């Protein structure tokens, strides 16, 4: 089987579908090499994006925009329990809020990486 970078996903699917769990114990070295290349590319892309976020955060406009984002998400006190809401509605409101917080926290984390912080911690929920 010829392995080309463009069809790596198809190759992985074919191996996984025919090999079952054995796929994970004996990956073809050619596939492992391509996977390593893809992971390195993803790491490089992540670092490049993180640096852009850090550059943005260092500008006056970036500071102002990010402060507004963080104030309206991560730092905002919220009370999602209101009279008349069902438990389901309260749960949905909490999940929506956490989704907003996760986006803001990922931006915060990428800024830290872009500034050279190694493995910044995610926000505790």
The verdict on residue 103 lying in a domain is yes
What is the rounded radius of gyration, in angstroms, for the C-alpha atoms of the chain?
A: 21
SS3 per-residue string spanning the chain: CCCCHHHHHHHHHHHHHHHHHHHHCCCCHHHHHHHHHHHHHHHHHHHHHHHHHHHHHHCHHHHHHHHHHHHHCCCCCCCCCCCCCCHHHHHHHHHHHHHHHHHHHHHHHHHHHHCCCCCCCCCCC
The verdict on residue 123 lying in a domain is no
pLDDT given for residue 1 in this prediction: 46
The verdict on residue 79 lying in a domain is yes
Which tens digit of pLDDT belongs to each residue from 1-43?
455 555 667 766 766 666 566 666 666 777 778 877 888 888 8
The verdict on residue 121 lying in a domain is no
Its pTM stands at 0.64
The verdict on residue 124 lying in a domain is no
The verdict on residue 122 lying in a domain is no
Q: Which domain holds residue 47?
A: 5-114
The verdict on residue 32 lying in a domain is yes
Q: How many domains does the chain have?
A: 1
Greater pLDDT, 115 or 87: 115
The verdict on residue 107 lying in a domain is yes
The answer to whether the beta carbons of residues 8 and 34 sit under 8 Å apart is yes
pLDDT given for residue 22 in this prediction: 65
pLDDT band at 71 (very low <50, low <70, confident <90, very high): very high
């Amino acid at each position: 089987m010829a392995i080309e970078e463009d069809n790596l996903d198809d190759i992985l699917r074919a191996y996984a579908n025919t090999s079952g769990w054995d796929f994970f114990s004996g990956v073809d070295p050619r596939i492992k090499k391509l996977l390593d290349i893809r992971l390195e590319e993803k790491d490089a892309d992540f670092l490049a994006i993180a640096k852009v976020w850090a550059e943005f955060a260092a500008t006056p406009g970036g500071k102002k925009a990010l402060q507004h984002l963080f104030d309206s998400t991560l730092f905002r006190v919220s009370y999602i329990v209101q009279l008349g809401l069902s438990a389901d509605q309260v749960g949905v409101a909490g999940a929506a809020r956490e989704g907003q917080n996760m986006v803001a926290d990922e931006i915060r984390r990428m800024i830290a990486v872009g500034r050279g912080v190694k493995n910044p911690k995610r926000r505790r929920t």
